């Protein structure tokens, strides 16, 4: 686990506002929300980013996306939402434990960068 912030959140060592959990992933509210609904979906197993996840034999990336859609439905985002994963330095990834941002609850910016 080491010093990984999200591993410590998933382990319950650091408090979080959990919204969903299954055998593969843990989802919690972003501490600095950029939309009325801003949730992070992270794999329980530590991996750095989506590049590392895509190297796996299994379909963990698909499971994370499916969990995100399930959470969006539970949050009432029937009008739409955005899923984003920042990857590496140019992607402005600040926490090196894979996570998907689920944002919604308002009309989001058309700008993506």
Sheet containing strand 100-104, edge to edge, reads 18-21, 25-29, 37-43, 100-104, 81-84
Smaller CB separation from ligand AMP, 28 or 81: 28
| CA-wise closest residue to 28 among 51, 47, 9, 49 | 9
**Footprint on this chain of ligand AMP (rule: CB under 6 A):** 5, 16, 28, 30-32, 40, 86, 92-95
63 phi, psi to nearest 5 deg: -65, -40
Smallest separation, CB 62 to ligand AMP (Å): 20
Closer of 29 and 66 to ligand AMP (Cβ): 29
Secondary structure class of 80 (helix, strand, coil): coil
Closest separation between CB of residue 57 and ligand AMP, Å?
A: 25
CB of 30 to ligand AMP, least distance (A): 5
The reply to whether 99 belongs to the active site is: yes
Residue with tokens 């009325």: 36
Q: Which is nearer to ligand AMP, 13 or 22 (CB)?
A: 13
So which residues are the catalytic ones?
99
């Amino acid at each position: 686990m080491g010093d990984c912030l999200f591993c410590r959140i998933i382990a319950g060592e650091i408090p979080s506002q959990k919204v969903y959990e299954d055998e593969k992933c843990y989802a919690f509210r972003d501490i600095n929300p950029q939309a009325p609904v801003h949730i992070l979906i992270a794999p329980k197993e530590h991996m750095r980013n989506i590049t590392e996840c895509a190297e796996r034999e299994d379909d963990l990336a698909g499971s994370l996306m499916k969990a995100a859609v399930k959470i969006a439905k539970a949050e009432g985002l029937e009008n739409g939402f955005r899923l984003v994963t920042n990857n590496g330095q140019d992607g402005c990834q600040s926490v090196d434990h894979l996570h998907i941002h689920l944002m919604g609850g308002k009309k989001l910016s058309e700008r993506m960068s």
